[in-house]
Structure 1
Amino acid sequence: MQVTLPKPLRSRPLVSVVVPCYNYGHYLPQAVDSILSQQGVDLEVIIVDDQSTDGSELVAAELAAGNPCVRVIRNEVNKRHIATYNTGLAEITGDYVVLLSADDMLAEGALARATALMEQYPSVGLVYGYCPDFTDVPEPSNPARTWSVWNGIDWLRAVAHRGDNVVINPEVVMRASVMKDLVGYDPAFPHAADLLLWLQSAAISDIGRVNGVQAYYRTHAKQMHVTDYAGTLTDMRERAALYRAFFTDEGRGAQLPGAHRMLRNALRATAKEAVWCAVLARIADDTVGGSDSDAFREFALANYPKIRQTILWRDLERRRTGRTPIIPDRQLRFAYRAKWAVKWRIWRRWGL
């Protein structure tokens, strides 16, 4: 990883921003305003309405009528999110591209910062940054002080070692040529298509990060993402399938040096995460914890059989059979919180 000081943008590139929208008309003006207020770049805004039933298409049409760089596409039928993303991406004409959900926002100056990095480093095909969550109005952010640039394969190794997705999504700016080469989002992985796109980008280009706030991710009750045990397990299963598809067979990562090791590391990290979930579900004060725990356990064992050699696995087995656990509940919860706090701080600062 190379850490450098930011450089100013020398040109005025055209950035295409695709805004998929389904029943988020009440958020749409805020999202579009965060795009149109970007300085230093020319803009193409493509709103793709996926047959909303809340009048979103009328809101989109009004926004387009008020600004010539905004246009609207309305799907003839509800296509769901992946097809809607790709519909918009097929229409872009810019040098760079952003996919911004209708409920999220860009940070002030984000596009100029990201494109300046790619202008300075032509080998970089994807730039991301820090993306805090918000519910109503995001807090003001401090300007980024540094850039980070990775060789694509080095970034892949680091992401595989973590085993999860280090990029939120709205903060990503991609070189349009890279996006077109990758042909958008893969519908085979509806819960993890974004992660696959990041991995594929790193296989053919370098990766950059603006080490500051680049976008804001809205949290609310209507999001597609679920945070219960079932949703977490679905995400893990799709990630494991994605890693296998990417690092083996016809995947773009199959021929990379160290592909087999990266696959093993990714599956090991995901299995460890599953065992943590299995233990926490086992001690949770709910009626479904036991069955969820068993599902996580089976997933971990199937994807990384050597997980049985870990202390946490042995603790889980003792809990399953009614024996005294190796790690007391209070200590285990503390260890889990500490582990993720450290991981979050490193990710917040350096993006990995």
Structure 2
Amino acid sequence: MTQQETATRFAPPAQSPSVVPAEARVAPPPQLSILMPVWNERAFLESCIGSIRAPEGMSIEVVLVDDGSTDATGDIAARWAAAAPFPVHIIHAPHRGKAAALNLAYARASGACFILLAGDDLLVPERLADRVAAVVGPGPRLAQCGYRTFWHHRPDRAGVEYDPRRSGDHVAGGAASFNRAFAEIYFPIPEELPNEDTWLRAAAIATGTSITPVDGLGLLYRIHPRNSVGPLRSFAETDLNLQQRHRAFELAERRFRARLDARGAARLAALCRAERLRQGRGLARLLLMPGLTWQDRTSFAANASPLLYALKRRAAPLLKRLLRL
């Protein structure tokens, strides 16, 4: 189907009807592209886009893909694009899912560095400069900032803050930043995957790309009933979603087979086996198998059965602080 694209750019006015200023014709690419896949985000989008502000001296652009929304998402995005002090490119596409929307956004983006932002989350703009600085340089670079959850319907309920220095090779998509060299590895995201962050992790493992921690809070993650995973989902929903997400490890083995070293191959193989054990309720073997970190063991185990999942949800605030599930 035809994709309709609307782009808003701000440039100095022409000196005469027949003269286009040179700076408008040869504008340098932005330092940062923010890629935004959105789908029926009417309830959250205005607060999300209100959190996007360019750091002083940094050029940014936003590429927003409206993934077949049937609510007012497109209207909200259009009004924002008309008034934003930086380029906002809007792509309207039929609904194909988050991975496909991010692939479209990347194909349109021209920045040197990238951040992924869901339409229901909030940026911390004061941290953007640090997130970009962490990935500037030659070769593939990937970084992760701290992030904190907050409850959309329960503002009185405390969220949980995640420290990137304690995350191992786990990556939250909205907390990640990366340069174009890593983007060329990461994209296209396999469209059968329901999310972007497990593929980020798998691509980093497969290519030996280390994850640089960025100190400080850079993202606020909203908890609400439409989250694909999280404390408001049942075990059955979470179990199915994790089966789909964890296919990223197998897909990475295939895509990056030619460049896998022994360490990356062993790590991906261990994660694939851990998912099979999780699905098969092989808890004892899961806890004892080699090649997993303690974060892996606790995360896989806590989602291995309805009972363990219920215990995890009941004790979630304490467990997440101690074990980073």
Under a length normalisation based on structure 1, what TM-score does the superposition of the two structures give? 0.64
Unaligned runs of 5+ in 1: 1-11, 150-154, 160-165, 275-295, 311-328
1:103 aligns to what SS in structure 2? coil
Inter-CA distance 58–346: structure 2 relative to 1 (3 Å threshold): same
Inter-CA distance 305–169: structure 2 relative to 1 (3 Å threshold): same
The answer for the alignment partner of 1:219 in structure 2 is: 223
Contact 1:15/1:43 (8 A) holds in 2: yes
Inter-CA distance 344–75: structure 2 relative to 1 (3 Å threshold): same
Residue 189 of structure 2 is aligned with which of 185, 189, 196?
Answer: 185
Residue 307 of structure 1 and its aligned partner are, at CA, apart by 5.1
Contact 2:77/2:90 (8 A) holds in 1: no
Contact 1:132/1:217 (8 A) holds in 2: yes
Inter-CA distance 239–25: structure 2 relative to 1 (3 Å threshold): closer
The answer for the alignment partner of 1:48 in structure 2 is: 65
Inter-CA distance 80–198: structure 2 relative to 1 (3 Å threshold): same
2:41 aligns to what SS in structure 1? coil
Q: Letter of the aligned partner of 1:234 in structure 2?
A: L
User: In structure 1, how many angstroms separate the alpha carbons of the residues matched to 2:250 and 2:118?
Assistant: 28
Contact 1:185/1:194 (8 A) holds in 2: no
Residue 211 of structure 2 is aligned with which of 202, 207, 228?
Answer: 207
Q: Letter of the aligned partner of 2:96 in structure 1?
A: K
Residue 309 of structure 1 and its aligned partner are, at CA, apart by 8.1
Contact 2:42/2:73 (8 A) holds in 1: yes
Inter-CA distance 259–172: structure 2 relative to 1 (3 Å threshold): closer
Q: CA offsets, 1:112-131, max 9 Å, x none?
A: 01122223x64561111221
Inter-CA distance 266–79: structure 2 relative to 1 (3 Å threshold): closer
Q: Letter of the aligned partner of 1:53 in structure 2?
A: T
Q: Name the structure with the higher helix share.
A: 1
Unaligned runs of 5+ in 2: 1-28, 290-306
Identity of aligned residues (%): 21
**1:87-236 mapped onto 2 (5 Å cutoff):** 87-119=104-136, 122-123=138-139, 125-136=141-152, 159=169, 166-190=170-194, 192-202=195-205, 203=207, 205-225=209-229, 227-236=233-242
Instruction: Establish whether residue 345 from structure 1 lines up as the match of residue 322 from structure 2.
Output: yes
Contact 1:123/1:206 (8 A) holds in 2: no
1:20 aligns to what SS in structure 2? strand
Under a length normalisation based on structure 2, what TM-score does the superposition of the two structures give? 0.68
Inter-CA distance 78–134: structure 2 relative to 1 (3 Å threshold): same
Inter-CA distance 346–80: structure 2 relative to 1 (3 Å threshold): closer
Say how many residue pairs are matched.
270
Contact 2:149/2:220 (8 A) holds in 1: yes
Instruction: Establish whether residue 258 from structure 1 lines up as the match of residue 293 from structure 2.
Output: no
Q: Letter of the aligned partner of 2:193 in structure 1?
A: F
